[in-house]
Amino acid sequence: MEGPPVPQVASADVPLERDVFLRRLLRELAGTLEEVVGVEEASGYISVVGAAMGEHIDAAYRRALAVERLSREQVAAVLVDLKRRIQGDFFVIEETEDRIVLGNRACPFGEFVRGRPSLCMMTSNVFGHIAAQNLGYAAVWLERTIARGDPECRIVIHLRPTADVAPDTREYFRRDGRNA
């Protein structure tokens, strides 16, 4: 027999709503993957999801801006804006022909990202996909991340191949195979 919620339960001070639930779900999923297959393999799985998300987000911005390809300036603005829309606090530190460097003071995953570095593959792949699809190439280095315990993130996006990159830099290429 179903009736109205028990007043004590319905008014209980439980910090649970959809956003918190989904962020915790992603944290637990990433943690389970990291424990079962390791951080590197978990990062690979999350990378696949990040690439699909990057494709959807890139298409939405290009459609909204009515352009076939985003310029470098638009790519930098889109990367900052998309994170702002999901409650990140990204900002441009540097923007040149060769690279875009972004900082971040607040992860969209909030505190749930701490200790879950595989979740950063979402950022790497979304950023890498958008930059590569529009500019031909991207190599993303997650120099500092909140997930690894840093107070802020620092993401370096190389826009041209270079030998001067960190070993854990991930490369992305335009899908149609043409370079910018």
The pLDDT profile of the chain, 180 residues, written as one tens digit per residue, is: 677 766 788 788 888 888 889 988 998 999 999 999 998 898 888 889 989 999 999 999 999 999 999 999 999 999 999 999 999 999 999 999 999 999 999 999 999 999 999 999 999 999 999 999 999 999 999 999 999 999 999 999 999 998 888 888 999 999 874 444
Domain region containing 45: 16-173
Domain with residue 151: its CATH number is 3.30.1380.20
Tell whether 3 is covered by a domain: no
Question: How much is the pTM?
Answer: 0.86
84 SS3 class: helix
Per the CB < 8 A criterion, the answer to whether 100 and 75 are in contact is yes
Tell whether 137 is covered by a domain: yes
Site of tokens 């889109």: 78
Number of domains in the chain: 1
For residue 2, give every residue at least 6 positions away whose Cβ sits within 8 Å of its Cβ, in sequence order, or none. none
